[in-house]
Amino acid sequence: MQTPSWLKHPRHYLFLKIFAWFWVTVIATITILVFLSQLTSNVGNDELRGPMLKNLEYTAKSIERIVAKHGGSTQDVLSHPRLSKHKLLYLNGEVHGVEMLSQPVSKEIDLSLLNFTKYMRPQIIFTDEYQAYGPVVLNVPEGKFYLYEIDEKRKKPFFVSLWLMPIWLKLLIALIASLMLSFFFSRNLIAPINSLKETAKKLAHGDLTARADVSPTRQDELGVLGRDFNTMAVQLEQLISAQKRLLADISHELRSPLTRLKMATGLAQMQADDAQHAYLERIEKEANQLDKMIADVLQVSRLEAKSQTLALSTQSLQVIVDHVLNDAQFEAKQSNKELIINGTLTADLQCDETLIASALENVLRNAIKYAEHSISIGLVESDAIYITVCDDGKGVDEANLARLCEPFFRQEHARDRNTGGTGLGLAIAKNAISAHDGTLTLENQEHGGLCVNIRLPFKSE
């Protein structure tokens, strides 16, 4: 019969780890309880019943009978070998300070602890040095006494020591032990899960180099999951990189035949008559549009791959914004729309002027296309530079909001618009801002329209 794999390799299975940690917690809690029970001095009691109670009552009646019959002192009767040979008897008088013993006891035994039990029902009394049984009332001519039988050789049973500990202390020990061991166990269990969670977040935000921190020697289910996740991340990175590289390569290769097409069109226009000239102009216009599209694709590819070299210089951001706004004002007037500008910028920023201008131009052109009547631009300086561009259009479906900055993505209703572009503008803008360690986020306005929020830090890390 083949041995199950979970018996061969128990460390490879989480349920066995959980089982082991459970019993470690139980054993640790009991060990601490035992240790503390030996350090604490406790007095406890339980009701005396059965043969032991009957024997003690019989001893009390025997003492009463012997004292009454022979008239001797109670101490003499108590010390008689017939009673004192096998039992250590203790009489505690009604009057404080009157005590009798059937035989001497060691100095370590403190019988004064029994003073608090005289008026109780017969009990088994547990102390650290001895056990006592009683009291049973004893009436003799010398007065009223309370009879106890002392067992000085017996120690408290183990479970009695635990039982005598205060309930709050037992609960506190169990709570602390379980919390400490659960903390160490949860770190071992949750650490790879947290690593997977953080890595998944990074992948979702475009960091394709993120990998989960999982020990290669960990062989349980979480270790296998972490390594499989990393394998998936590697494959994903390779596929997306290959896709971007293919897109860039195709775009690059298209430029050569496109350039030749434009040259041929120019030559044909010089020899064409009026009837053919209109068709050639149309060809030239479409070729120019295709050339711009290819340039945009190449720029997006370089920005996403972080392979574009930035021509950094210290520039007045207000000057860059003004140049872009001048062109935007002209486009807005052609569409009977209004630009509303709030605020100014005074700070200089180390940036690639062309790239920042391209990002702002694409954002403004997108806002002008889809605005109904007006576009508002907000310029604010504080801990960073904040530029907000909002239109009064219909906005974007929440489901599509996060995808607007993906290359070639457009909402379905925008595909039939005459103003619909290629879907590369916002992708270029976001990657250009990211190249300057900034952020570009999108949100819908409460009363309709889309807002693009740009944040540019003063210093790039």
* Residue 6 in this model has a pLDDT that exceeds 60: no
Tell the burial category of 230 from Cβ atoms under 10 Å away from its Cβ (0-12, 13-18, 19+): middle
* Residue 80 in this model has a pLDDT that exceeds 60: yes
Sequence-distant (6+) residues with CB within 8 A of 242 are: none
Sequence-distant (6+) residues with CB within 8 A of 410 are: 420, 421, 423
pLDDT in tens, 107-127: 667 777 777 777 788 887 777
* Residue 306 in this model has a pLDDT that exceeds 70: no
pLDDT in tens, 381-429: 888 889 999 998 888 887 777 777 777 666 654 444 444 556 677 887 8
pLDDT over 90, % of the chain: 2
pLDDT of residue 221: 75
- The CA distances from residue 415 to 162, 263, 419, in Å, are 78, 31, 9
pLDDT over 70, % of the chain: 76
Tell the burial category of 396 from Cβ atoms under 10 Å away from its Cβ (0-12, 13-18, 19+): buried
pLDDT of residue 167: 66
> Domains in the chain, please, with CATH?
44-164 (3.30.450.210), 240-304 (1.10.287.130), 312-456 (3.30.565.10)
**Residue corresponding to tokens 């050339």:** 291
Sequence-distant (6+) residues with CB within 8 A of 366 are: 421, 425, 426, 452
Reading the block at residue 65, the tokens are 């009978």
pLDDT in tens, 24-43: 777 777 776 666 655 544 55
Reading the block at residue 205, the tokens are 């935000």
3-state class of 449 per DSSP?
Answer: coil
Which region among 16-25, 198-207, 313-322, 341-350 has the lowest average model confidence (pLDDT)?
Answer: 16-25
**pTM for the predicted model, two decimal places:** 0.47
pLDDT in tens, 192-227: 888 888 888 888 877 788 888 887 777 777 788 888
Give per-residue burial for 289-315: e unless 16+ CB within 10 Å, then b. eebebbebbbbbbbbbeeebeeeeeeb
